[in-house]
């Protein structure tokens, strides 16, 4: 009786965790560059059940009565890095990446320490002094560091290789990075990633930059709603 209640309890906790992950996906369905997350389940180790203190057994000797499973436990979370659909904006500094790769961002925390973070959200702006920045005020990095453009140029063009031209002159080149194994990436906020020890960064030479586009999240709202109903039923 008690084992059955415990097994049901572990199942409810697991479904609650899956629901948390799913609702976070739905909340970010309209977040540029967001990547869908998922959750896995694992079973507890199977243990051998014993029949003990049973007067019907000769000499009251414990006897094996079979295997018992203790239910389900929460497994690992994972991220789906597949390409999201592109949205046309026509804005000069809205950029999307096709293929493997991330924009490099110089992130500054509240303590003033800077570090490089990685993102697929290319909704950038130009500051009053010409620096290419995220909408949160962090610098976008190029091959030579921070990208500073002319504030008086007539036309700014960014080609598929990430080269930035103003009035026909090459001004900077975007730094695009990919990783040998994305399992070494960890979420930092909604659309940025940080790296763990052991991550191997590579130049994303095959990735292409598309000016005037933004990459949307790779979430299918319809599929997530179906999964939401399924998880609710399983919880019940």
Look over the chain and give the mean of its residue pLDDT values, rounded to a whole number. Answer: 84
Backbone angles phi, psi at 228, to 5 degrees: -60, -45
- pLDDT average, residue stretch 64-93: 79
Decide if pLDDT at 60 tops 50. yes
Sign of CA dihedral 140, 143, 145, 146: negative
- The region of weakest confidence among 11-15, 25-29, 105-109, 170-174 is 11-15
Q: Which residues lie closer than 8 Å to 79 by C-beta, 6 or more apart?
A: 35, 36, 37, 38, 182, 185, 187
Q: What is the pLDDT of residue 231?
A: 86
Tell me how far apart the alpha carbons of residues 111 and 12 are, in angstroms, rounded to a whole number: 40
Is 1's pLDDT higher than 70? Answer: no
Query: Tokens 């059955």 label which residue?
Result: 4
- Report the pLDDT value the prediction gives residue 75, as an integer from 0 to 100: 72
pTM: 0.77
pLDDT, tens digit, 9 for 90 and up, residues 108-132: 888 888 899 999 999 999 999 999 9
Query: What pLDDT score was predicted for residue 48?
Result: 47
Q: What is the pLDDT of residues 175-230, one digit of tens each?
A: 999 999 988 998 888 889 999 888 899 998 899 999 999 999 999 899 999 988 98
């Amino acid at each position: 009786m008690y084992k059955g209640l415990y097994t049901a309890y572990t199942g409810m906790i697991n479904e609650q965790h899956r629901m948390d992950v799913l609702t976070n996906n739905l909340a970010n369905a309209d977040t540029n560059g967001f990547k869908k997350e998922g959750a896995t389940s694992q079973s507890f180790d199977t243990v051998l059940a014993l029949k003990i203190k049973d007067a019907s057994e000769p000499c009251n000797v414990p006897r094996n009565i079979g295997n018992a499973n203790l239910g389900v436990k929460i497994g690992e979370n994972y991220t789906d890095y597949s390409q999201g659909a592109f949205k046309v904006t026509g804005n000069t500094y809205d950029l999307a990446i096709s293929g493997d790769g991330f924009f490099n961002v110089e992130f500054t925390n509240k303590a003033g320490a800077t570090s490089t973070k990685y993102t697929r959200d290319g909704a950038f702006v130009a500051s009053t002094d010409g620096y290419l920045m995220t909408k949160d005020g962090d610098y976008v990095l190029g091959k030579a560091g921070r990208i500073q453009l002319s504030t008086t140029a007539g036309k700014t063009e960014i080609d598929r290789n990430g080269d930035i031209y103003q009035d026909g002159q090459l001004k900077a080149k975007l730094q695009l990075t990919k990783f040998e194994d994305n399992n070494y990436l960890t979420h930092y906020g909604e659309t940025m990633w940080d790296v763990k020890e052991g991550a191997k960064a590579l130049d994303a030479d095959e990735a292409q930059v598309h000016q005037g586009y933004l990459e949307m999240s790779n979430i299918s709202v319809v599929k997530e709603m179906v999964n939401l109903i399924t998880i609710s039923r399983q919880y019940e």
